[in-house]
Amino acid sequence: MGLGYIGLPTAIIAAKHGVEIVGVDINPKVVEMTNSGHLHIIEPGMEEMLKEVIGKGKFKAYTSPQMSDAYFIVVPTPFKNGHKPDISYVESATRMVLPLLKEGDLYVIESTSPVGTTEQMAELIYSSRPELKGKMYIAYCPERVLPGNVIYELVHNDRVIGGIDEASTQKAKEFYAQFVQGTLHSTNSKTAEMCKLTENSCRDSQIAFANELSIICDKAGINVWELIELANKHPRVNILQPGCGVGGHCIAVDPYFISAEFPDEARMIAMAREVNNGKAEWCATKVENAILRFGKEKGRKPVVALMGLAFKPNIDDLRESPSMQIARTIIKQCADTEILVVEPNIKEHQEFTLTEYREAYNCADIAVFLTAHSPFRELEWSDEKVILDFCGIFKR
Ligand code: SAJ
């Protein structure tokens, strides 16, 4: 249930390992594209695999669920006002499969979910199908794949599997063992739900630490990249890299699932979100100030190059990207300045006219590095330019 960034690759990989898969998505365009062998998401190597499993008759997409033996809920869990998690898609996907459920079926939620969601869905299932109580298997199993490396990680990562009872955990493990080579770790559903939220909140907090350091170092006149490299020589210190904020659909979202439910307790987790969101605003202000200073000193407007829009290096995924947010702010605030926007991983964009990265860098009076794409590292430092390197291209 759900053929998005996780559901579709999972369906394809499982089908490739011989599982017969019915893929369901409420969006008819997604279903049509998928059945014609075209990938509607961005993931290297996945389209060839999709074509293969469709060709072998192992995978077919539909707009409504078909009678099956196991149901996997892999739909989005966004947040509503006040950063409160919205599990309405999980609930509606569950309601769609309700009439099809039968004794011995497996029902698994993979969507990132607030603690207690699996038990809540079990109650929903048993309240409308009481005859199935104790006769079905219900579990939570979060995904951990890194966008861009999904084919490898879906198979090789360890997974945490938490059933509402031991029999459910066992049944879900048997399913995943068909295509997962990593270890399958057993727990209960609430721990598995919290585990997913914990992993992404941990990374968010660690990045916040690096981002906070970068702001302190800017004020203190210290090279943060050198500082982190030196501090990491300590055997028990491992600081991540600062950047222009945290993007993507996971790390910038999941910590709110903890802080919304435990507002009094989750102080550091909430603060990490603030620090990382604040970093993007800090970067935008730095650029605006550099533009003003250039105008005052040189008596003319600068040409500004904004280097990188993707939410992280070497991908073309712009979802929740802090670089995009910064680009939009600069373009709005500095409407009379010539701004060249660069994203080497995409050909064109509806909102921005894109410029080739070398051309933009060469023309720029102010070069702003937002996303650390590898090709940018071939560019040479220039004392003639103002360079705002927020992601450590030059590490100067
Ligand atoms: N970032 C930094 N500094 C760093 C590392 C990352 O600023 O040192 C930024 C990136 O630029 C990006 C953001 O953090 O904007 C997130 O990137 P990421 O590579 O850390 O993670 P995602 O969002 O691509 O994938 C994460 C992964 N979670 C963890 O590493 C704990 C992945 O394993 C999860 O499956 C995924 O979230 C998910 O779907 O939840």
Give the start-to-end residue ranges of the domains of the chain. Answer: 7-187, 223-389
Q: How far is the CA of 251 from the centre of ligand 1 (A)?
A: 6
Whether ligand 1 lies within 6 angstroms of the CB of 277 is answered as no
Per DSSP, the three-state class of 88 is: helix
Q: Which two tokens stand for residue 188?
A: 């209960």
Q: CB 25: neighbour CB atoms within 10 A?
A: 24
Whether ligand 1 lies within 6 angstroms of the CB of 270 is answered as no
Whether ligand 1 lies within 6 angstroms of the CB of 283 is answered as no
pLDDT (0 to 100) of residue 79: 87
Give the residue from 357, 354, 356, 348 showing the smallest Cα distance to 378. Answer: 357
pLDDT (0 to 100) of residue 80: 87
pLDDT (0 to 100) of residue 394: 97
Average pLDDT over residues 159-181: 98
Q: How far apart are CA 318 and CA 307, in angstroms?
A: 13
- With cut-offs at 50, 70 and 90, classify the pLDDT of residue 316: confident
The answer to whether domain 7-187 and domain 223-389 are alike in fold is yes
Q: How far is the CA of 140 from the centre of ligand 1 (A)?
A: 22
What is the rounded average pLDDT for all residues in the chain?
A: 97
User: Does position 277 have pLDDT exceeding 90, yes or no?
Assistant: yes
User: Does position 315 have pLDDT exceeding 90, yes or no?
Assistant: no
Residues in the chain: 396
pLDDT (0 to 100) of residue 224: 98
Q: Which two tokens stand for residue 137?
A: 């298997």
Element (DSSP H or E) covering residue 213: helix 189-220
Q: Which CATH class is domain 223-389?
A: alpha beta
pLDDT tens figures, 67-110: 999 999 999 999 888 889 999 999 999 999 999 999 999 999 99
250 has catalytic annotation:
yes
pLDDT (0 to 100) of residue 147: 81
- CATH superfamily entry for domain 7-187: NAD(P)-binding Rossmann-like Domain (3.40.50.720)
279 has catalytic annotation:
no
Q: How far is the CA of 304 from the centre of ligand 1 (A)?
A: 28
Residue nearest to atom 14 of ligand 1 (CA): 246
pTM of the model: 0.94
| Percent of the chain residues topping a pLDDT of 90 | 94
pLDDT (0 to 100) of residue 73: 98
User: Does position 123 have pLDDT exceeding 90, yes or no?
Assistant: yes
Residue nearest to atom 27 of ligand 1 (CA): 146
- With cut-offs at 50, 70 and 90, classify the pLDDT of residue 367: very high
Residue 77 CA, chain-centre distance (Å), reads 12
Whether ligand 1 lies within 6 angstroms of the CB of 240 is answered as yes
